[in-house]
Amino acid sequence: MQPRTRARFIGIVAVVGVAATLAACSSSPSTDSANQKVTVRVGVWDGGGGLKQDEQLASEYMKSHPNVTVKMESTPTNYGTKILTELAAGDAPDIMQIGDGDISMFKSKGVLADLTPYIGNKSDGLTMSDYDPALMNIGKIGGHYYTIGSGTSMAVYVNKDAFAAAGLTLPTASWTWDDLEKDAVALTKKDASGNVSQWGIRFNGNDLRTYLPFVYAYGGDVISSNGKKITGHADSAATIAGWSEYNKLMNVDKVSPGTQAVGASNGNDFFLAADGKKVGPAAMELSGDWGGTDYVNAGMNFEVLPVPAGPAGQFTTMDYSGYAINSKSKNVQAAWDYLRFWATKGQDSLASTGQLVPYKPALTKYKLDTSPATAEFVKSFSKVKPFPELLSPSFSASGAANDLVSVLSDIQTGNGSVDVAKELKAAAQKAQSDLDSYSGQ
């Protein structure tokens, strides 16, 4: 199963100058006629199964709204370039899928309608207590909502059969990174030549966000709370300690596949047990909820545990993608009506397939808040810390995020000899310079 929410940033650096010319329009509720024929354009980066789900929900809506045509405009590649070019030309979709790393940037350009008056409308609004606040607050800036979306926290899949075969006691929800390290070492199987037949754990992702739990657990961060200072944070002793733990797992203990092994897998899921086997190539996996349904369907014996605790506590992060309404849309009311459907009946339809959703009535109805594949991800939302893109609209666009990812990339090669402190110091200086010099033009 492909990740549903991984596109956090949509390629804004190359075309952000185009967006800078955009002017905001009024986002107050429009007076669209309920009976007139209208087409609601929805821009998404989804492809494959994700696009199929989008189209099924649109079809459901159109059955009860014969005057409305919901048109999905899918751009899996270079979505950001297309959407910003369309915005500059005044021809963007009525509803736009927005990555969580870009919400504040788009808001600052004035192209997102304020959804707050629609949400609060007594006749066709939303009851926000029906939604997980950690997810809903991602789309909230300055007390106003600009996106409504869904997402997943990060947690650890544990294969019970692998633990039993190794004679290990299953970890508890209060486990630590030291506990995970010991288990991962015991679960890694190698022959006399060092060839690995089973990895202790797979860290699923090559981006900064996935590895923030290491930083947070040791009391670190990567940017100040006002979104202006990277040095002194991304290169602090606590941050260095967190990523040093990750480096130890990758390059000293060698319990997780490096870049070469991941590339050789052709995109296969390391945790998924195939061909009737009980254990896949990896006995544990740090990931979002993306593969849970596949693991259930494969008959795997697994559970999901929270991200381990470190000296500073137990924290996680999330992936989120939201939907915004184009502030220049001529069909604002119709766009809101579809977005409201997506956030209620649409979420019910998605939950019926076992997909994690932010809508609490659907979670309860389909027992996703108690299911072994999804329950921990729901619980872990309470452990999410604000990620840097929420604190600085320029963190991604300036290239600062990529500067720090370069350190992760070196660790992920699995070839050893990574001086984490030295590389983080250099990366933090470069990131600070890029952030300071970035004008958004």
What is the C-alpha separation between 113 and 100, in angstroms, rounded? 16
Give dist(CA 45, CA 43) in Å, integer.
7
Domain housing 406: 155-316+398-437
The dihedral over CA atoms of 369, 370, 376, 381, expressed in degrees to the nearest 10, equals: 20
Residue 20 has pLDDT above 90, yes or no: no
Who wins on pLDDT, 101 or 147? 147
From residue 429, give the alpha-carbon distance in Å to each of 165, 220, 388: 47, 17, 16
Identity of the residue numbered 172: T
Residues 215 and 120 in one domain: no
**pLDDT recorded at residue 5:** 47
At 50, the pLDDT band (50, 70, 90 cuts) reads confident
Q: Please say which residue of 351, 366, 386 terminates a domain.
A: 386
- On whether residue 264 sits in a domain, the answer given is yes
pLDDT range class, residue 9, cuts 50, 70, 90: low
Query: Residue 26: its pLDDT value, please?
Result: 36
- Tell whether 1 is covered by a domain: no
- Give the least confident one: 158-167, 172-181, 369-378: 369-378
Q: 175: which 2 tokens?
A: 């486990």
Residues 67 and 93 in one domain: yes
* Portion of the chain with pLDDT greater than 70, in percent: 91
> Across residues 102-117, what is the average pLDDT?
91
The average pLDDT across 219-236 equals 96
Asked if 162 and 58 sit in the same domain, the reply is no
C-alpha–C-alpha distance, residues 166 and 100, integer Å: 40
Query: For residues 262 and 120, is the Cβ–Cβ distance under 8 A?
Result: no
**Residue 292 shares a structural domain with residue 274:** yes
Same domain, 198 and 265: yes
Are residue 255 and residue 327 in the same domain, yes or no? no
Is 166 inside a domain boundary? yes
Percent of the chain scoring above 90 in pLDDT: 72
Question: Stretch 126-149: mean pLDDT, rounded?
Answer: 93
Least confident among 56-65, 103-112, 179-188: 103-112
Q: What predicted TM-score, i.e. pTM, was given to this entire model?
A: 0.88
Q: First and final CA of the chain: distance in angstroms?
A: 37
Residue 219 binned pLDDT confidence (cut-offs 50, 70, 90): very high
In a domain, 238, yes or no: yes
Per the domain annotation, does 27 fall within a domain? yes
- In this structure, are 240 and 119 located in the same domain? no
Residue 25 sits in the same domain as residue 125: yes
Exposure string over 40-68, b if 16+ CB within 10 A, otherwise e: bbbbbbbeeebeebbbebbebbeeebeeb
The mean pLDDT of the chain is 89
Instruction: Evaluate whether residue 5 is within a structural domain.
Output: no
> Which residue from 93, 106, 110, 95 is spatially nearest to 149, judged by alpha carbons?
95
CATH number at residue 85: 3.40.190.10
What is the structure's pLDDT at 21? 40
Q: 246 and 214 in contact (C-beta within 8 Å)?
A: yes
In tens, the pLDDT along 257-303 reads 999 999 898 888 999 998 889 999 999 999 999 889 899 999 999 99
pLDDT classification of 252: cutoffs 50, 70, 90 = very high
Instruction: Examine residue 8 and state whether it is found in any structural domain, yes or no.
Output: no
| pLDDT of residue 19 exceeding 60 | no
Whether residues 207 and 296 fall in one domain: yes
Residues 267, 201 share a domain: yes
- If pLDDT is split at 50, 70 and 90, which confidence band does 387 have? confident
Q: What is the mean pLDDT of residues 210-214?
A: 93
Q: How many domains are there within the chain? A: 2
pLDDT at residue 182 greater than cutoff 60: yes
Q: Are residues 229 and 334 in the same domain?
A: no
Q: Which residue has the higher pLDDT, 20 or 136?
A: 136
Residue 266 belongs to a domain: yes
**pLDDT of residue 28 exceeding 60:** no
The pLDDT assigned to 131 comes to 95
Mean pLDDT confidence for 105-124? 92
Backbone angles phi, psi at 301, to 5 degrees: -100, 95
Q: What is the mean pLDDT of residues 18-37?
A: 48
Shared domain check, 190 and 54 = no
The helix (run of H) or strand (run of E) holding residue 213 is helix 212-217
Q: Is 239 within 8 Å of 218 (Cβ atoms)?
A: yes
Rg of the chain taking only CA atoms, in angstroms: 22
